[in-house]
Amino acid sequence: MIKLRSGLLVLVGIVGLVLYFSVRGLLTYSKNRTVEARSPSKVVIQKSDSPTNGNGGGRQWRASMGDIAASGVVVNCTEYANGQLSNVFILSDGIIITQSIVWPLSPSLLGTKEYETKARDAFESRVAIEPALLEFREIISEYGLDDAESKLYSGIWEIYTIRAQIRQLKRRFKEENILSYGVNSARVLADKDYEFYTIYNKSRLEQAVYYQHGKTRLEKLFGRFPDTCFDRLMSIPVFWNPVVLNSL
């Protein structure tokens, strides 16, 4: 009888401790989960180095806001050979948006002498009103990339295009046109009908798409492109849109 009682007491103690720690853990987890979902700090790119040949030869990758399990906010991007980008955004509250974007610069000309000449001409005609181009040149030159001399202006124009895309994204953010951009049924979606965080997360993921696609093009152009160089270039704001070199 005494053994039974002491056994019962020990059991109550163990159950109590298990309950205490599980409730405590649950509270901490739920709080962290909310923090992650509300203010995810970084966009995490996944599978960027493992291109697949699915979907008609497209290169696929995925980006998420912070911890994918916590935030559940994801973009699945497919880059096609013709420069088209197809993005499927999975946002909070079960919102799924499919977006199609055409990158302003054609992939076929990239790395050719013709492209470099056009980029150099465009640089010279634009640099007076867009001093950021000089900074781009200075930073790229510092890194001593392969064929940097023969591809310098093509590289500058690529960077300019990425920065201009980001500026346009920020403009859409201000104009509350984030959810409708590149979407066929534009009338269905309006930023004002959704929570700020839904719009913000979509903006950050779209920004990641531009960064990732732009960087892929730079790597194709130079063979390699250091992250530190890319980060430095992304600190420089631009004020105009680049000329589309294909049409020159």
Partner 1 sequence: MESRCIEQPVSDRFALERDLNFIEMKKISAVIGFFVIVIMAFYFIKPRMIVPDQQVSEMSIDRGYITHAKKFDALQSRTGTHKPLGFDPQSSDSMDKYWNDRYETNVTTVTNIVKTGTNSTRVQITSVRKNKHFGTDDWELFSKIQFQNDCALEPGQSQILDILREYPPARDSSRLFTGAYAAKFVLYNICNEVNRSIDAEIRFESRVKTRLNKVNDFTETRIQRDYERHQEQCLRSWQSINEDKEQYWAVLKELYGDFPKDLFQRLMAVEYQQIF
Least separation in angstroms between CB 165 and partner 1: 14
Choice between 87 and 203, CB closer to partner 1: 203
Contacting residue, 47, 113, 171, 224, with partner 1 by CB under 8 A: 171
224 forms part of the interface with partner 1 (CB under 8 A): no
Choice between 172 and 217, CB closer to partner 1: 172
Distant-in-sequence, close-in-space partners of 103: CB < 8 Å, separation ≥ 6: 83, 84, 85, 161, 213, 217
**Tokens for 204?**
């950050």
Residues of span 63-122 touching partner 1 by CB under 8 A = none
Q: Which stretch binds partner 1 (CB under 8 A): 52-60, 72-80, 148-156, 173-181?
A: 173-181
Least separation in angstroms between CB 132 and partner 1: 7
Distant-in-sequence, close-in-space partners of 177: CB < 8 Å, separation ≥ 6: 191
27 forms part of the interface with partner 1 (CB under 8 A): yes
The packing angle between helices 113-126 and 132-142, to 10°, is: 140
Degrees, nearest 5: CA angle 187-210-231: 145
Choice between 83 and 242, CB closer to partner 1: 242
Write each residue from 183 to 222 as x if it is in contact with partner 1 (CB under 8 A), else as -, in one continuous string. -----------------x--xx------------------
Q: Which stretch binds partner 1 (CB under 8 A): 39-47, 101-109, 154-162, 217-225?
A: 39-47
Q: Which stretch binds partner 1 (CB under 8 A): 37-45, 89-97, 108-116, 147-155?
A: 37-45
176: left (phi over 0), alpha (psi -120 to 50) or beta: left
- CA-CA distances (angstroms) from residue 145 to 49, 111, 164, 225? 21, 14, 23, 8
3-state secondary structure of 68: helix
Choice between 183 and 236, CB closer to partner 1: 236
The DSSP result for 215-244, as a single string, is HHHHHHHHS---HHHHHHHTT----SPPP-
Note whether 169 and 206 are within 8 A (CB): yes
223: left (phi over 0), alpha (psi -120 to 50) or beta: left
Binding site for partner 1 (CB under 8 A): 5, 8-9, 12-13, 16, 19-20, 23-24, 27-28, 31-32, 35, 39-42, 128-129, 131-132, 139, 142, 167, 170-171, 173-175, 200, 203-204, 228, 231-232, 234-237, 239-240
